[in-house]
Chain A
Amino acid sequence: MTTTRRNLLKFVGGGAAGALLTPAPWRLITDSALWSENWPGIPRPAHGGITARFTHCTLCPAGCAVRARCVAGQPVSLTGVKPHAVSHGALCPWGIAGHHLPYHPARVRQGPVKEATAAVAQAIAQRGTGEHVAVLDLRPGRTVSWTHRRAMAAINGGLYLTPRQPGYSIDLAAAKTVISFGAPLFDGWGTPGNVIAARSIFRLIQIEPVETRTAAMADLWLPIQPGSEFMLAAALAGNMTLAEAALITGVGEQALAAVQEAAESGQAVVLAADPASPLMSLNEKYGALGRTVVARSDAPMPEAWKQAAPEMSMAAAPDGAIRVLLIDESLPGGYIPWRRIAPKLAPDAVVVVFTSSNDGYARHAQFVLPAAVYPETAEDIGPAIDTVAAVFRIAAPLIAPVVPAVDPARFVERLAGLPASEPLRERAGAIHKAGRGTLLDYTAAKSTPVKDVTADNFWKTLSQGGCWMDDSAKRTAPENLVFPAAGEPPRDERPLTVVVAEPRRGGLESPLMSKLERESNLRLAANRVALSPDGARASGIENGDRAVLETAFGRLNVVVAIDPSVPAGVVEVAGGPRMADLCGGNGRARVVRA
């Protein structure tokens, strides 16, 4: 037995020695290392011809011009388009990674289209008198918005609802001093490239409680006691002494005087975070109306479209009377907190939302239908707050739709019994017919007066990501501009004031946004709030702890970041639908350790 075992060992030993003298082990060692260099599961990027294609970003009303670098037709990176007169080649971080959206893992990929159609039809048929069918359009001013409006006009009792619209444009180039009450100029307020280009002209005074990106870029930042902006405005308007205002707002009297001086030195404009804020009425005092705050002009449209339902704000809608609510959330826009909508619904209302994200109204609707996302479909983009001349630009699709999406305009059209139309093309025709303005063709890198372009070429260029810009007309003061009076802030014992430090529209964002939100602390993620060190200590919270943000309207699980630049008594949050539902309108909150 010993001999056989010993011999077996010798056999193995001989085998090992022999193997070392062959290429096999060495090659296997090399191969395993090479295997690790071509690690399994790593995608191999597709190779192919490289082309540039153009489109416009639909993620916000700025509608920046986008140049897509495509490999074998697939966009792999996006950049701005330098010659574009408004966006100046700038893109925000969301826009830079917009081409990831179709593949977002959390995207709404399917929905009960048949069921929704049937339920809506049944509800319309069965609705009682005084009950309405309504479309809530989060991004009014688009061409499809007119489709919605026309459809609502065609339906008996149809309502066309929108979030509050500014009703004016800001011509930043005409301002020497900008007094901003928390308007996020550098973070989503208007068109990034336009603001940056105008920045060298005006002096920026930023009035807000926390040092946002805009405050950091301002010439003067006035850290104000949260909620006391109206007192400061009253002082500027001369309704209160500077000393009184200084006491209330926490801003030094000298600083207030400096602001007043700057404001009155001419060509000042006042901007507010909420474009419909009463603070905007200060512009009247500074003579900004008609100079900086100007009337918005729209691109020409077909005559037939004038038969449209009027824009109506949610507050104006009758209570308990909306039987069918169709929410077009295909492009993220101004989110109206659900608690403002719920009272308007009839008891057995049918709510359908067209969206790509589960974060917004999808949480409240019975039927969630998948919508296409940028850059899958052709769309035009509503006007931005800082574009003065009318523009018509189309987000040309860069990729084939990844999921079978429902087009909300088609859905509404069909509901109203309107014939299927090609609204974009019709409108392009109307613009061409009007004959004004210039056509920007990025592919050929040239701009041509419209009157020198044939209608077909006009449409062709637009549908490949071109842009029409109106001639700069005379600035006029906006009409019917009425700002509501400042209301009393609601009473709430919660110790912290909510400050939205990070405006955010909701909707999908590229998975790579983790670079800014989780892999660095550059931006507050939607589920993060920032507290001052003292505030955190008072709640027994450490950096990175899980906590619950609690307001009068609900609770939200959040992660707390401690940030010494946050003043005591303030909780910084990022915007977005969840936050809007939680604290929109009433900014008092409490943060409790989870």
Chain B
Amino acid sequence: MDREFIARGLQRSSPGRFLLWILPWAALLAFGLYCAGLCLAKGLNQTNMDNRFAFGLWIFLDLTVIALGAGAFLTGFLLYILKLDELRAVINSAVVIGVVCYSGAVSALMVDVGQPLRSWFTFWYPNVHSMLTEVTFCISCYLTVLLIEYLPIVLRNRKLRDVPSFLVFEHKLHNLVYVLAGVGTFLSFFHQGSLGGLYGVLRGRPFAFREGFAVWPSTFFLFILSAAAVGPSFILLTTKLVETLSRKRLVRPTVYSLLARVSGLLLAVYVLAKAVDTLVWINRTSPGHGFLASQYYSWKPFGTWILFAEIVVFGMLPALVMLTPRLRAHNGWLVGAAAMACGGVALNRFVMTVQTLALPTLSFDSFVSYYPSWQEVGTFLAVVAYGVLLYSFSFRYFNLFPEERELRLEAAVHEEESALAGRY
């Protein structure tokens, strides 16, 4: 029964082994759902957020996860609009990662808001000047787009393909996917940016406030760049991870190289822009609001080290590694650099969320700290478990890596040749 759903010629573990892999994640998901249920039923007093730390772990992770999910739009854009055909090898996986990241983030947000039943008010009574409105609209639209992009992947499933209408619809939809890729790019551009704008417009938080162009603060553009930069890195990382876990080769080295090049290039541009932005902010924006920038870094544990880490260690360094062909060719360097790039964007989102809130704004404020409660952590783990499960099921039943079978046959050729070579 299970076998019928697995694409022909793909080697997948036995149902038993798969179940063993699934079970702990399912248990984690169940625990996380319990935590989320507590937050929904009893209210957000279950979290350690408070009036001073109004955003916490969830918002930080949502921002990070959405940045990491940017690979879906960037890959789609590069493949369908710029016709970088090599990326066909990872597009399906990228779409699934996108679905996982975005649906996970949206679910977490539904727990995060105090009155989820009213979430549609944002659509009905939008305040078009709010960055959050832009985020809400774009993320929900983009999630819809991602789900539609995910549909062909599902419908290509061996068993579902037997239904003629599914088969035909999948084919026709796939032919139009470039439209969705274009729409997705447009939406991603705006919501990634607006997530940055979320903080950049905070006039009352001089640590986060930035000047910019028209209605967009500079963080708008920085977030787009950084998300676009780490998207491919995250795809690279996940693919490597799946290769390791499944002990299979899934894509060709050239694809990794291409992803790293794209990621490195964008990261380099981002680091440059971020450095310029930081200088403008330190020397003009922040003092203009009466806040000396040095002050932000005098509250332990936030020191200037965090700025250094963000720009140099987790920005410039991985960018250089990924742009250097010799280093890139080396698996350790490649994976390390991609992981650092992802870590860098997480650090940036952490700083924007947590440091912004921890810093005092009034002279008689105190510097505040916050540790998430187990319910918050549990809810977040539910998102992780959900992501792993959705990806695992997708990997098992859908053909996420179109070159997988070919690579296996190639490996067989190689094996045969070496066997022959060994014999003679």
When A and B assemble into the complex, do they touch directly, with CB atoms less than 8 Å apart? yes
Interface residues of A (CB under 8 A from B): 29, 32-33, 35-36
Q: How far is the CA of A33 from the CA of B118 in the complex (A)?
A: 5
Q: How far is the CA of A32 from the CA of B117 in the complex (A)?
A: 7
Q: Which residues of chain B are within 8 angstroms of A35 by Cβ–Cβ distance?
A: 117
Q: How far is the CA of A124 from the CA of B117 in the complex (A)?
A: 67
* Shortest distance from the beta carbon of B22 to any chain A beta carbon, whole Å: 25
Asked if B213 is at the interface (CB within 8 A of a chain A CB), the reply is: no
* Shortest distance from the beta carbon of B308 to any chain A beta carbon, whole Å: 30
| Chain B residue nearest to A29 in the complex (CB) | B120
| Chain A residue nearest to B51 in the complex (CB) | A519
Known: A32-B117, A33-B118, A36-B118. 7 other contacts (CB 8 A): A29-B120, A33-B117, A33-B120, A33-B121, A35-B117, A36-B115, A36-B117
Q: How far is the CA of A33 from the CA of B113 in the complex (A)?
A: 14
Q: Which residues of chain B are within 8 angstroms of A33 by Cβ–Cβ distance?
A: 117-118, 120-121
Q: Which residues of chain A are within 8 angstroms of B118 by Cβ–Cβ distance?
A: 33, 36
Interface residues of B in 76-126 (CB under 8 A from A): 115, 117-118, 120-121
Q: How far is the CA of A29 from the CA of B117 in the complex (A)?
A: 8
Q: Which residues of chain B are within 8 angstroms of A32 by Cβ–Cβ distance?
A: 117
Q: Which residues of chain A are within 8 angstroms of B121 by Cβ–Cβ distance?
A: 33
Q: How far is the CA of A226 from the CA of B318 in the complex (A)?
A: 62
Q: Which residues of chain A are within 8 angstroms of B115 by Cβ–Cβ distance?
A: 36
Q: Mark B267-308, 1 if CB is under 8 A from A, else 0.
A: 000000000000000000000000000000000000000000
| Chain B residue nearest to A39 in the complex (CB) | B115
Mind listing 10 A-B residue pairs with CB under 8 Å? A29-B120, A32-B117, A33-B117, A33-B118, A33-B120, A33-B121, A35-B117, A36-B115, A36-B117, A36-B118
In order of increasing CB-CB distance, the 8 nearest A-B pairs are: A36-B117, A32-B117, A33-B118, A33-B117, A36-B115, A36-B118, A29-B120, A33-B121
| Chain A residue nearest to B116 in the complex (CB) | A36
Q: Mark B211-236, 1 if CB is under 8 A from A, else 0.
A: 00000000000000000000000000
* Shortest distance from the beta carbon of B84 to any chain A beta carbon, whole Å: 38
Q: Which residues of chain B are within 8 angstroms of A29 by Cβ–Cβ distance?
A: 120
Interface SS of chain A: helix
Interface residues of B (CB under 8 A from A): 115, 117-118, 120-121
| Chain B residue nearest to A37 in the complex (CB) | B118
Q: How far is the CA of A32 from the CA of B115 in the complex (A)?
A: 11
Q: How far is the CA of A29 from the CA of B120 in the complex (A)?
A: 9
* Shortest distance from the beta carbon of A530 to any chain B beta carbon, whole Å: 15
Q: How far is the CA of A30 from the CA of B403 in the complex (A)?
A: 48
* Shortest distance from the beta carbon of A170 to any chain B beta carbon, whole Å: 35
| Chain A residue nearest to B119 in the complex (CB) | A33
| Chain B residue nearest to A36 in the complex (CB) | B117
Q: How far is the CA of A161 from the CA of B115 in the complex (A)?
A: 58
Q: Which residues of chain A are within 8 angstroms of B117 by Cβ–Cβ distance?
A: 32-33, 35-36
Q: How far is the CA of A35 from the CA of B120 in the complex (A)?
A: 14
Q: Which residues of chain B are within 8 angstroms of A36 by Cβ–Cβ distance?
A: 115, 117-118
* Shortest distance from the beta carbon of B53 to any chain A beta carbon, whole Å: 16
Q: How far is the CA of A446 from the CA of B266 in the complex (A)?
A: 81
Q: How far is the CA of A35 from the CA of B118 in the complex (A)?
A: 10
| Chain A residue nearest to B162 in the complex (CB) | A2
Q: How far is the CA of A29 from the CA of B121 in the complex (A)?
A: 11
| Chain B residue nearest to A32 in the complex (CB) | B117
Among B117, B118, B120, B121, max chain A CB count under 10 A is at B117
Q: How far is the CA of A29 from the CA of B124 in the complex (A)?
A: 12
Q: How far is the CA of A33 from the CA of B117 in the complex (A)?
A: 5
| Chain B residue nearest to A519 in the complex (CB) | B51
Q: How far is the CA of A35 from the CA of B115 in the complex (A)?
A: 11
| Chain B residue nearest to A6 in the complex (CB) | B163
| Chain A residue nearest to B121 in the complex (CB) | A33
Q: How far is the CA of A502 from the CA of B66 in the complex (A)?
A: 51
* Shortest distance from the beta carbon of B117 to any chain A beta carbon, whole Å: 5
* Shortest distance from the beta carbon of B32 to any chain A beta carbon, whole Å: 24
Q: How far is the CA of A96 from the CA of B305 in the complex (A)?
A: 51
* Shortest distance from the beta carbon of A68 to any chain B beta carbon, whole Å: 32
* Shortest distance from the beta carbon of B319 to any chain A beta carbon, whole Å: 42
Q: How far is the CA of A36 from the CA of B115 in the complex (A)?
A: 7
* Shortest distance from the beta carbon of A34 to any chain B beta carbon, whole Å: 9
Q: How far is the CA of A584 from the CA of B271 in the complex (A)?
A: 65
Q: How far is the CA of A43 from the CA of B96 in the complex (A)?
A: 47
| Chain A residue nearest to B118 in the complex (CB) | A33
Q: How far is the CA of A35 from the CA of B117 in the complex (A)?
A: 9
* Shortest distance from the beta carbon of A213 to any chain B beta carbon, whole Å: 17
Q: How far is the CA of A35 from the CA of B121 in the complex (A)?
A: 14
* Shortest distance from the beta carbon of B110 to any chain A beta carbon, whole Å: 14
| Chain A residue nearest to B163 in the complex (CB) | A6
Q: How far is the CA of A36 from the CA of B116 in the complex (A)?
A: 9
Among A32, A33, A35, max chain B CB count under 10 A is at A33
| Chain A residue nearest to B115 in the complex (CB) | A36
Q: How far is the CA of A33 from the CA of B115 in the complex (A)?
A: 9
| Chain B residue nearest to A35 in the complex (CB) | B117
Q: How far is the CA of A292 from the CA of B117 in the complex (A)?
A: 66
| Chain A residue nearest to B120 in the complex (CB) | A29
Q: How far is the CA of A33 from the CA of B123 in the complex (A)?
A: 13
* Shortest distance from the beta carbon of B419 to any chain A beta carbon, whole Å: 45
* Shortest distance from the beta carbon of A522 to any chain B beta carbon, whole Å: 13
Q: How far is the CA of A100 from the CA of B121 in the complex (A)?
A: 37
| Chain A residue nearest to B366 in the complex (CB) | A543
Q: How far is the CA of A453 from the CA of B303 in the complex (A)?
A: 76
* Shortest distance from the beta carbon of A545 to any chain B beta carbon, whole Å: 15
Q: How far is the CA of A391 from the CA of B120 in the complex (A)?
A: 62
* Shortest distance from the beta carbon of B1 to any chain A beta carbon, whole Å: 14
Q: How far is the CA of A351 from the CA of B10 in the complex (A)?
A: 87
* Shortest distance from the beta carbon of A206 to any chain B beta carbon, whole Å: 23
Q: How far is the CA of A29 from the CA of B123 in the complex (A)?
A: 13
Q: Which residues of chain A are within 8 angstroms of B120 by Cβ–Cβ distance?
A: 29, 33
Q: How far is the CA of A33 from the CA of B122 in the complex (A)?
A: 12
* Shortest distance from the beta carbon of A5 to any chain B beta carbon, whole Å: 12
Q: How far is the CA of A36 from the CA of B118 in the complex (A)?
A: 8
* Shortest distance from the beta carbon of B144 to any chain A beta carbon, whole Å: 15
* Shortest distance from the beta carbon of A111 to any chain B beta carbon, whole Å: 36
Q: How far is the CA of A36 from the CA of B119 in the complex (A)?
A: 11
| Chain B residue nearest to A31 in the complex (CB) | B117
| Chain A residue nearest to B114 in the complex (CB) | A36
Q: How far is the CA of A141 from the CA of B121 in the complex (A)?
A: 62
* Shortest distance from the beta carbon of B145 to any chain A beta carbon, whole Å: 20
Q: How far is the CA of A113 from the CA of B115 in the complex (A)?
A: 50
Q: How far is the CA of A29 from the CA of B119 in the complex (A)?
A: 10
Q: How far is the CA of A466 from the CA of B93 in the complex (A)?
A: 82
* Shortest distance from the beta carbon of A55 to any chain B beta carbon, whole Å: 36
* Shortest distance from the beta carbon of A576 to any chain B beta carbon, whole Å: 28
* Shortest distance from the beta carbon of B120 to any chain A beta carbon, whole Å: 7
* Shortest distance from the beta carbon of B369 to any chain A beta carbon, whole Å: 11
* Shortest distance from the beta carbon of B41 to any chain A beta carbon, whole Å: 13
* Shortest distance from the beta carbon of B365 to any chain A beta carbon, whole Å: 13
Q: How far is the CA of A36 from the CA of B120 in the complex (A)?
A: 13
Q: How far is the CA of A427 from the CA of B117 in the complex (A)?
A: 63
* Shortest distance from the beta carbon of B232 to any chain A beta carbon, whole Å: 38
* Shortest distance from the beta carbon of B121 to any chain A beta carbon, whole Å: 7
Q: How far is the CA of A204 from the CA of B274 in the complex (A)?
A: 57
* Shortest distance from the beta carbon of A12 to any chain B beta carbon, whole Å: 16
Q: How far is the CA of A567 from the CA of B117 in the complex (A)?
A: 52
Q: How far is the CA of A29 from the CA of B118 in the complex (A)?
A: 9
Q: How far is the CA of A36 from the CA of B114 in the complex (A)?
A: 11
* Shortest distance from the beta carbon of A461 to any chain B beta carbon, whole Å: 47
* Shortest distance from the beta carbon of A442 to any chain B beta carbon, whole Å: 39
Q: How far is the CA of A36 from the CA of B121 in the complex (A)?
A: 12
* Shortest distance from the beta carbon of A42 to any chain B beta carbon, whole Å: 13
Q: How far is the CA of A32 from the CA of B119 in the complex (A)?
A: 11
Q: How far is the CA of A109 from the CA of B115 in the complex (A)?
A: 38
* Shortest distance from the beta carbon of B337 to any chain A beta carbon, whole Å: 41
